[in-house]
Structure 1
Amino acid sequence: MIGLNTSEAGTVKPASPSSLTSQKWLTLSGKIWFIIAAIGQAIFTFYIIGLYGVATATGDWERWNTTMPHGYVAGDAPGNVSIVMHVLLAAVVSIGGPLQIIPQVRKRFPKFHRINGRIYIMSGVTISLTGIFLLWTRGTVGGLIGAISTSINGLLIIAFSVSTIKYAWTKKMAIHRRWSLRLFMVMSGVWFFRVGLMFWLLVWGRPVGFDYQTFTGPFLVILGFSQYLLPLLLLEIYFAVKKAKRNTTQWVFGTVLMFFALATALGIFGATMSMWIPRVF
């Protein structure tokens, strides 16, 4: 039980204030990161709807090509349908994902939580399948390595979706919630890529480690895998540190999380001001 230490003799002593403080710091850091990420994904959703949603509704298919080299391809019905589903469903998961994670929503609106969860998972699996199809039929600016890293992201989404559903059906809710958090991390991979890229550019003030014209280079290779592996690693460390209840470790990792929260905020700011907002208006 959090906040209590049991001695060998079986007596129970209250935990020291520092233990409670470190636990609260760790939790606070995680919450601050999540709030920042949720705001960023809401902005990303606005961008998707404002650009691609409006373009689809008005039949302005050429507008799809303003940001993608192979957005709309005349005569390629399977590819065009796939890209429309892939992009527009990204708006669904970007707004539905954070809502699925918020405990207050889950507790106060359980029916919405179940329905939203099903939509979230079905949309995620569809995004993954269409994304993999497009990567290997139309190609990607990241080349072969980019296609491989993004395909792995898609396969992880499918695998984590299965685990999330499995533990919900078997009523193992604690395990289910952990898998839903893992799913949220990999589902946000493409979003993490954009935020990470803009954070890197803002820090250096110029492209470092990659060519901006060809969009190739070692940094993009690393980012292609880090877009889902790094968030997953941080999540697993968070689980372990929270369970261990060691003061120093919680203080240190809480501070690390706070750094990533600030880095995420900076990346969101860069992406919003240089990519998302200008392309909508």
Structure 2
Amino acid sequence: MSKSLQIQKLPGILRIIMFVLVTIGIAMIARRILAIYGIIPSFSPNGEPPFDTGFAKHPAITLLHILPGSLFMILGPWQFIPGIRNRHVRFHRISGTIFIIASYIVGISALCMPFIMMPIGGINEAAGSMLFAIFFLVALSRAWWYILRKNQTLHREWMIRAFAVGLAVSTIRPIIGLFFGLSGLSPHVFFGTAFWIGFTLHLIVAEVWINYTRPVTYL
């Protein structure tokens, strides 16, 4: 296969990965809701406290975080599909507004949650969650700022950064699975590391994609 053909296939591959991660994210939200209300058992590795204990003790902040998160997962991908954006402008604008509002709620609640319940990964996970929540909110604000000024290029770039950070929660789960299967460490030890890896990986991919697709300008 030629290099040019491989490059042409790259957007399709990334789109497939995006929808896989969205599916994981929606499944995570559904599982957490069922777990905090006792409909299904919470995962409890090696006799340690169940993962959903803290969330079950604080259902209000949990639901305030994950229900808008479901809108983030459902509406996010459609913001980046050119056919939808170009042919259904009204839908794109309305869904985009809902997406940004829901994303702000997700980001603000993520910033508050470590002060209400200590994450499984302790201070390490809390620090990662708060740092990337701040970046997520900054990226959303800059995306909103640029679209109000009709700068679609910079709006797109900051939307990609925001969506990449939010979508990282889905990539973090397989990373956690790898730690469970290969490390033998306690979740309290590796959860924070998994969060840092997932968020950082998504930001790197976002920056690579932004630079790869940035329009070429000539002086």
- TM bucket (normalised to shorter chain) is 0.7 to 0.9
Cα displacement (A) at 1:39: 3.0
Cα displacement (A) at 1:145: 0.8
Q: Is contact 1:23-1:242 (8 Å) kept? A: no
Q: Is contact 2:25-2:169 (8 Å) kept? A: no
1:2-25 Cα offsets, whole Å, 9 max, x none, are: xxxxxxxxxxxxxxxx9xx54442
Residues 86 and 239 of structure 1: CA distance in aligned 2, closer, same or farther (over 3 Å): closer
Give the alignment's Cα RMSD to 1 decimal: 2.8
Verify: 1:155 aligned to 2:151, yes or no: no
Q: Secondary structure of 1:206's partner? A: helix
Verify: 1:34 aligned to 2:15, yes or no: yes
Verify: 1:207 aligned to 2:188, yes or no: no
Identify the match of residue 56 of structure 2 among 72, 82, 89. Answer: 72
Match of 1:227 in 2: 198
Distance 2:169 2:176 in 1: 11
Matching residue's letter, 1:37: M
Which stretch of the first structure deviates more once superposed, 33-42 or 135-144? 33-42
Matching residue's letter, 2:80: I
Residues 64 and 140 of structure 1: CA distance in aligned 2, closer, same or farther (over 3 Å): farther
Q: Is contact 1:65-1:71 (8 Å) kept? A: no
Match of 2:125 in 1: 146
1:238-271 Cα offsets, whole Å, 9 max, x none, are: 33345699xxxxxxxxxxxxxxxxxxxxxxxxxx
Distance 1:184 1:155 in 2: 13
Residues 122 and 243 of structure 1: CA distance in aligned 2, closer, same or farther (over 3 Å): closer
Residues 220 and 61 of structure 1: CA distance in aligned 2, closer, same or farther (over 3 Å): closer
TM-score with structure 2 length normalisation?
A: 0.82
Q: Which runs of 5+ in 1 are unaligned?
A: 1-17, 74-78, 246-281
Verify: 1:127 aligned to 2:106, yes or no: yes
Matching residue's letter, 2:99: Y
Q: Is contact 1:26-1:242 (8 Å) kept? A: no
Q: Which runs of 5+ in 2 are unaligned?
A: 43-50
Number of matched pairs: 208
Q: Which of these two proteins has the greater Rg computed from alpha carbons?
A: 1
Distance 1:244 1:112 in 2: 25
TM-score with structure 1 length normalisation?
A: 0.65
